Amino acid sequence: MRKLMIPVIVIFIATLLMSMFVVQEGERGIVLRFGRILKDADTDVARIYEPGLHFKVPVFDRVRTLDARIQTMDDQADRFVTSEKKDVIIDTYVKWRIEDFGQYYLATGGGDASTAQALLKRKVVDSLRAEIGSREIKQIVSGPERSQKADNANLVSDETAPATEIVAEVAPRKTVEGQRDQVMANVLADIQISAKKDLGVDVVDFRMKKINLPDEISESIYRRMRAERESVARKHRSQGREKAEVIRAQSELEVAKILSEADREARVVRGNADAQTAEIYAQAFNKNPEFYNFLRSLKAYENSFNSKNDILVVDPNSDFFQYMNESKAAN
């Protein structure tokens, strides 16, 4: 009897271990019985086993664990054609997670993640191709709609500002209707519906990481962009020169006003000084007219005989030689 108990205990332990299974954190489990997924009797959906210890029927049941975390599909970039018949290379990524584990298991042929990503990528490419094919390049690469006038708000001139702060006013150009965010929102909404219906997955987010142009058309695009920027630069320079001329004219006018005012004040001061000089001479003449005449005569002699080459034809008996003649008479 004791010898029979040992095999029974061994079989019981083995059966108990075979009926136990553990679902790790971040995973969910489904049980397959005879190749079919076990479902809840009430909801008729796949029975999902949360992380922890669970039991199954040995031999007949097989457990399949699936990753329940958010996963990232970041594949290589694809080429798309715009409404202008131009190619663009767009690199995208998708965030997704399993929502209906039973449907996901059946749709992917046993819960293969690579198969799920291949099916999901096909949906993303098809939806994105339809969105890109109905738009131009400038609409795809631009973000939300922005006015050129708002972009250049810091470039508007202020008539009351100092000359160093006046910048050429930029006229508003045609607004570019950016639809990049709208494209991503449309693709996300489209693949969320189809992926949930066909694959049982919930697409959390979709983003376009990078938009590139093929090498064969990049150079022509760059040349056109460079020409446009040079045109804008020339316009800014011409407007700047116009403002500079206005400022220079205003400065020259202010200088002329200052100089004329200074010259007027100088003439007034000079006239007052001449009047005071004349008054001083008059006072000196009234005090001693004879001495004043004598000094004036000496000054006239000095100015007349300053150069030896000068020839002066004057009557010796004239009043000009009055003091010289008186000096000879005194001798």
Does the global pTM surpass 0.75? no
Same domain, yes or no: 103 and 216: yes
The strand ranges marked E within 83-233 are: 87-98, 201-212
Which residues of the chain register pLDDT less than 50? 147-174, 328-331
The strand ranges marked E within 195-263 are: 201-212
Same domain, yes or no: 98 and 244: no
Distance CA 141, CA 176 (A): 10
Q: Cβ contacts of residue 152 below 8 Å, gap of 6+?
A: 170, 172
Q: What is the structure's pLDDT at 129? A: 92
User: Any idea what DSSP says for residue 39?
Assistant: B
The residue range of the domain holding 206 is: 71-230
Number of domains in the chain: 4
Q: What is the structure's pLDDT at 168? A: 36
Q: pLDDT over 70 for what percent of the chain?
A: 81
Q: What backbone phi and psi angles, to 5 degrees, belong to 69? A: -80, 165
Q: Among 80, 57, 60, 61, which Cα is nearest to 137's?
A: 80
Same domain, yes or no: 76 and 208: yes
Distance CA 79, CA 215 (A): 12
Instruction: Classify burial at 46, counting beta carbons within 10 Å of its beta carbon; exposed 0-12, middle 13-18, buried 19 or more.
Output: buried
Same domain, yes or no: 320 and 281: no
Q: Which of 203, 230, 257 is the last residue of a domain?
A: 230
Per DSSP bridges, beta strands 201-212 and 87-98 are: antiparallel
Q: What is the structure's pLDDT at 321? A: 64
